Amino acid sequence: MQLPTNVSSLRGMIEVPGDKSISHRAVMLGALASGRTVIDHFLPGADCLSTIDCFRKLGVDIRQDGTTVVVEGAGPGGLREPAAVLDVGNSGTTARLLLGILAGQPFHACLVGDESIAKRPMGRVTKPLREMGARIDGREGGNYTPLSIRGGALRPLRYTSPVASAQVKSAVLLAGLFTDGVTSVTEPHRSRDHTERMVRLFGGEVNVDGLTVSVAGPQRLRGTHIYVPGDISSAAFFLVAGAIVPNSEITLKNVGLNPTRTGIIDVLTQMGADIAIDNVRNEETEPVGDITVRTSTLRAVEIGGDLIPRLIDEIPIIALLATQAEGTTVIKDASELKVKETNRIHTVVTELKKLGADIEATDDGMMIRGKTPLYADGIVVDSHGDHRIGMMLAVAACIAKGTVRLERSEAVAVSYPAFFADLRSLL
């Protein structure tokens, strides 16, 4: 795909698609609940459609019409042993959270994914689930897909996670819903809390005490109505575009502002971006607001520690942002990037260097020296099949002089099917 380059301005208003993390969880908890759940502004990207497909194979009646999804909850004991293999596609969230649910089911299931999923570590989830009593096997002792799981009769667990990961936390807590007792997860840093908020929305109980989250099982969930806010991880690409493309002003409507996800806004603010948030609402469930960003003069910052879990998915676009900031930006404590859809440390550095960025990889992040003009005289960049790398490169092309072609642009559809159309609408 040929990308727009040397863009003179980006102006307008858009609404980014529904939050991917929330869309996954809405289908999953809706499937476990008693009664009907209606989901509005659902993300119909490839990852979330994989979640729907898996739960249909588990016997759940799910109807999807564009961004509206209706789930007829199976209720307690209502999931059925699948006759076919559960294929999660490219979705790590589907894989890890589904393992937590399957751990509590008295039947056997097999889980597979695509080539990327086959490289992503599942041991961080299968280890605590085995401690709870689930029988799990797979490649390299159950650390990689394909995986076979036979659940049921779980024991409560008090688990101290070595990583701050919402997927690990959620898998254990979801399994805990099927135990007779209290299951807890303690993290080194606070990770995103969509599962905790959504369990409460479905009438369940969750206790949060500092870095420890616990659920008492068994719990009975009730179907509900859910509006999925715009995905801040998708909004991040346009927030950065608005800050670095000349003469720009972009307003993003109805963006999720969950405080465990707003690290990108903190970084933009620290770097001096001209950014404003208005019309904030729904603060007790999932806060939502409108964000406006304008072309800005930026300065370098250091990013690490407990900020990383709040912006781990946004680091590729933050790296681009840093190329347009005065000084040296350091991103550290981000080793988790190595086990995403790609090794994002390697892919970000490799692809931005093609455009002339002064960037180098470190063991747990990267260093970016700015402000650096980007050039693209017939350059071919590659998403490596990673949706966030693809979108980052499209934004990078906007400030590059020359021509840029993006290979494997179709990867963007995983989380933002209309991304290129929305970008063109702002030109």
Q: What is the DSSP string of 11-37?
A: EEEE-PPBPHHHHHHHHHHHHHSEEEE
Which class for 143: exposed (0-12), middle (13-18), buried (19 or more C-beta within 10 A)?
middle
Determine what percent of the chain falls in helix, strand and coil, rounding each to the nearest 5.
35, 30, 35
Q: Taking the CB of residue 231, how many other CB atoms lie within 10 A of it?
A: 25
Give the CA diameter of the chain.
63
Contact (CB, 8 A) for 181 and 214? no
Structure tokens of 409? Answer: 């642009």
The CA distances from residue 53 to 62, 76, 334, 388, in Å, are: 9, 20, 32, 23
Q: Taking the CB of residue 345, how many other CB atoms lie within 10 A of it?
A: 24
| Rounded Cα distance, 80 and 74, in Å | 9
The CA distances from residue 32 to 37, 92, 147, in Å, are: 10, 20, 22
Q: What is the DSSP string of 396-407?
A: HHHTEEEEEEEE
Catalytic residues: 313
| Rounded Cα distance, 79 and 101, in Å | 10
* Three-state SS at 424: helix
